[in-house]
Structure 1
Amino acid sequence: MVCSSYLRTVFIQSGNIQKVTEGLLLKFPSFRKGLKTVSSATFLSDRIFPSGRMMVDNTSATSNRGPTISTSPDKDDNDGCASGGWKSEDGKLGCGYSSFRGKRASMEDFFDVKTCKINGETVCLFGIFDGHGGSRAAEYLKENLFKNLMNHPEFLTNTRVAISETYQQTDSDFLESGKDTFRDDGSTASTAVLVGNHLYVANVGDSRTVISKSGKAIPLSEDHKPNRSDERKRIENAGGVVMWAGTWRVGGVLAMSRAFGNRMLKQFVVAEPEIQEQKLDEEFELLVLASDGLWDVVPNEDAVQLALSEEEPELAARKLIETAFTRGSADNITCIVVRLYHHQSPKIEPLPPQTLTESETKTDDTETETEIEIETEIETETETESKTEPING
């Protein structure tokens, strides 16, 4: 992982802390001068998992629900980079995640990874939340969306309905929680819920989930853009307008047609998810969930090819983030790679490496670096208030 100032990489696998080498930097000599390295072993033992184990949330455990395991690193206050992962006890599923502030002055991406057993059924939940206009909405989703979903009475019996109702209720709860403030931030959500071998992918906004089947990329969500014909019709039928302001925007402000939050545009910018269901078999190798900081510069096919070129999902997630950055992504970049180990994946050659020119490595010297904190995701306390300025997701 390459950062504009220095590097700190967190690498977690099955509760064990591993040091990450700096070999990745050899092909980026322009970044060496300002590089600061930190012992990941010291950092993790002191700040992330004081017990050296995954964090277990027993607050909602009942007689038919096991404890929820959540990959929850504690806080980091400097660099804006984090990566890590875990594998299931039976070795059939692995997850890697990586999140990078990139060229933005602040971090508004969050992500969440949880697993538990409910009525003897293994449940895994993965989510990407890309905030805009501030980080509060994305942080709220990370803290509440999956908790609300697992508490829904029809979570296992009618999962699609449970997801749809939980998304919209969580949006209402978020808006209610900020009704006395002047903040109007929002967030995307792209989530994958695995119940046994049934996968449910739900999406609001322009984050995206893609699955690999026999080496081919299949999108499981479609970006909610205002110029999408069905979305534009829905907005205009509700009395809204879609107009060009650098890109297509709702009311000339928001560059996505669905989102959590965004109180001032709520009549047009809904949080109703589009849901796709997929029964997994041995043809499916992995899932990639990511914010648009990745998808803006990495096509679905490239993302799958890059992820398949690494056996370990942690390395795959980091490779995707690195690739997006070197290809010029100017946004926060966050992704989760979920690897299915039910068979030997086909051997995929990695994409040709791309190098940065001297001009591409330069950043605006006047840009203010803000202090970054990391929980499971990278968090900021930035409170950007934007009601009339254009917002890019």
Structure 2
Amino acid sequence: MEEEARSFLGRFAEEFPAALKEGAPLPVSPLSRRVTLEELHGESLELGRRLLAARGAPAGLSALLCQAALSQLLQNDLSPFHCAREPGPNQEEEQEVVLLESEAVQRVFLNQLIEVTLGWSQDFPKHPPPPSQFLHCSVHSIKNTRRKMEDKHLALAEFNQLLGVQSQDQCAYYAVFDGHGGVDAATYAATHLHVALSKQESLQSDASSALKMAFKHTDDMFRGKAKRERLRSGTTGVVVLIQRQQLSVAWLGDSQAMLVRGGQAVTLMDPHKPDREDEKQRVEDLGGCITFMGCWRVNGTYAVSRAIGDFDQKPYVSGDADCVTTQLLGDEDYVLLACDGFFDAVEPSEVPHLVREALRRPADPEDVGDAPLEQSEDAAGLRVAQQLVCHAKEAGSSDNITVMLVFLRPLKQLVGQNSTTGATQQ
């Protein structure tokens, strides 16, 4: 691991031997034109991760570099980057929110990142970043037949390192967001929800409460951006947080997570759909209605009853997430997260068999070459999500599809499984 990190630092120093020159184009584009100070945290970390990932940085090293650069950025006086007030109908409200010129402030962040990285290339830390305790994550997503891709996802085994969480309990965070009416809400949630989660005081003691509050806070943050920029999109979301020997799942809408334990599918959650009896009752109690227009919809509009965004239909489309926590016993195979584009075409009970078959399929020689058997198995594991996505498309899904598998035991143990597939309710 140290050799890989040193190799990356050397390559990076050759490409960026000094700070970016004023006026030169940024090597990675900011997500927004203007940001609040709170949004600066998530957008800077995302920008740094994208820059480093595109150059092959090890994930653990990337997380530590981004956190160090952000910490330095926040020590600066950011008042020179405050936006001038723009005349308009919302001027009085905007005076309450300080907005920063994103490109200018992100240039400072990227220069801090370059400075930190150059420092590490010359003086490598005595305690290099530890490897992730989680074995493999396989992710694949496609636009499919839709005009636009509105799904976003995030796999963050280095949660503590990226977000500066000071705890001996390492957290790993995985999320899938399925946008509708545009990708803005999904992008926003993928950029900010994990940051909001890291700031919850209850994170170490009550993960369920922390996740619910992080969803709510992200929805409130997006409301401000949607109002400023006249955005109308929304997104469902499912988040898995692994902490100590607990796996917590929080969700809004019909994206889902499922666990496979000993080759058996375990139901963790019930997606929020308008025709779910308790969701229908909640909407009707608020004065809304559930109608069938090709599918069941809230007030004849959205096909989900809970989401981040969709402010024209709040509170009927609720921003309150549900959460369940499961104790990990050590015999878990993997957890799968996916949007409705997958689960509308594939039954959860089919998943264990599909994954087993994908793992047993011989690796493409072009993928592994002369690699040893262990690396060959790794390559097979990384392809699993791709094969599940292909299966959902062949089964009739025309929607965007995103599938993420987080393996919780060595892949060679899963390849040898011969369990009878079945679904069990936890």
Q: Same fold (TM over 0.5)?
A: yes
Q: AA paired with 1:103?
A: T
Give ranges in structure 1 of 5+ residues lacking alignment: 1-13, 18-45, 63-87, 352-393
Which residue, 388, 398, 403 being the options, matches 1:335?
A: 403
Q: 2:149 aligns with which of 107, 111, 123?
A: 107
CA contact (8 A) 1:98 1:314 kept: no
Q: Secondary structure at the match of 2:228?
A: coil
- CA distance in 2 between counterparts of 1:197 and 1:275 reads 16
CA distance in 2, matches of 1:249, 1:326: 27
Post-superposition CA distance 1:197-219 (Å, at most 9, x none): 21100110000001001211112
Tell me the distance in 2 between the aligned counterparts of 1:209 and 1:61: 32
* Aligned equivalent of 1:211: 259
Amino acid at match of 2:145: K
Q: Is the 8 A contact 1:91 1:341 kept in 2?
A: no
Distance in 2 (CA, whole Å) between partners of 1:199 and 1:110 is 21
Q: Indicate how the Cα distance of structure 1 residues 276 and 91 shifts in structure 2: closer, same or farther if over 3 A, else same.
A: closer
- In the other structure, the counterpart of 2:235 is 187
Of 386, 397, 419, the match for 1:318: 386
Match of 1:131 in 2: 179
How far apart in 2 are the matches of 1:58 and 1:47? Answer: 9
Instruction: Return 5+ residue gaps in structure 2 as ranges.
Output: 9-50, 70-129, 161-165, 360-376, 422-426
CA–CA distance in structure 2, aligned partners of residues 57 and 111 of structure 1: 21
Normalising by structure 1, report the TM-score. 0.67
> By how many angstroms is 1:52 displaced?
4.4
Task: Classify the secondary structure of the residue corresponding to 2:413.
Answer: coil
What secondary structure sits across from 1:50 in the alignment? coil
1:121 partner SS: coil
1:116 aligns with 2:159: yes
Give the match for residue 390 of structure 1.
none
Match of residue 56, structure 1, among 63, 68, 72: 63
Write the mapping of 1:1-40 to structure 2, written as runs, cut at 5 A. Answer: none
Deviation string, structure 1 residues 296-353 (Cα, Å, up to 9, x no partner): 11110112322233264312111111111111210111011011116933525999xx
In structure 1, how many angstroms separate the alpha carbons of the residues matched to 2:133 and 2:208? 27
In 1, the alpha carbon distance for the partners of 2:420 and 2:147 equals: 31
Q: How does 1:1-393 map to 2 (within 5 A)?
A: 48-54=53-59, 55-56=62-63, 58-60=65-67, 89=131, 93-114=135-156, 115-117=158-160, 118-309=166-357, 310=359, 312=378, 313-341=381-409, 344-345=413-414, 346-348=416-418
- Write 1 or 2 for the structure with the bigger share of strand: 1
Equivalent position SS for 1:344: helix
Q: Following the alignment from structure 1 to structure 2, what is the Cα–Cα distance between the partners of residues 174 and 198? A: 29
For each residue in 1:100-152, what CA deviation from the matched residue of structure 2 results, as whole angstroms up to 9, or x when unmatched?
Answer: 11111110000011123441221100000000000000000010000110121
| Cα separation, 1, equivalents of 2:291 and 2:67 | 45
Residue 268 to residue 89, structure 1, CA distance change in 2 (3 Å)? same
Q: Rg: which structure is higher?
A: 2
Shift of 1:57: 5.2
**CA 1:91–1:263: 2 relative to 1, 3 Å:** closer
Paired residues of 2:295 and 2:303 also in contact (CA < 8 A): yes
Amino acid at match of 1:344: Q
User: In structure 2, how many angstroms separate the alpha carbons of the residues matched to 1:222 and 1:61?
Assistant: 39
The amino acid that maps onto 2:205 is T
The answer to whether the 8 A contact 1:97-1:336 is kept is yes
CA positional deviation for 1:188: 0.5
Deviation at 1:177? Answer: 1.2
Q: Say how many residue pairs are matched.
A: 286
1:138 counterpart letter in structure 2: A
C-alpha displacement of 1:245: 0.5
Three-state SS of the structure 2 residue aligned to 1:334 is: strand
> Is the Cα contact below 8 Å between 2:337 and 2:405 reproduced in 1?
yes
User: In the TM superposition, what whole-angstrom CA distance separates every residue of 1:66-88 from its partner, at most 9, and x where no partner exists?
Assistant: xxxxxxxxxxxxxxxxxxxxxx9
Matched residues, percent identical?
27
Q: Structure 2 CA distance, aligned partners of 1:264 and 1:194? A: 34
Q: Is the Cα contact below 8 Å between 2:264 and 2:419 reproduced in 1?
A: no
Whose RCO is larger (CA < 8 A, sep 6+)? 1
Structure 1 residues 91 and 303: CA distance shift in structure 2, 3 A: same
More helix per residue: 2
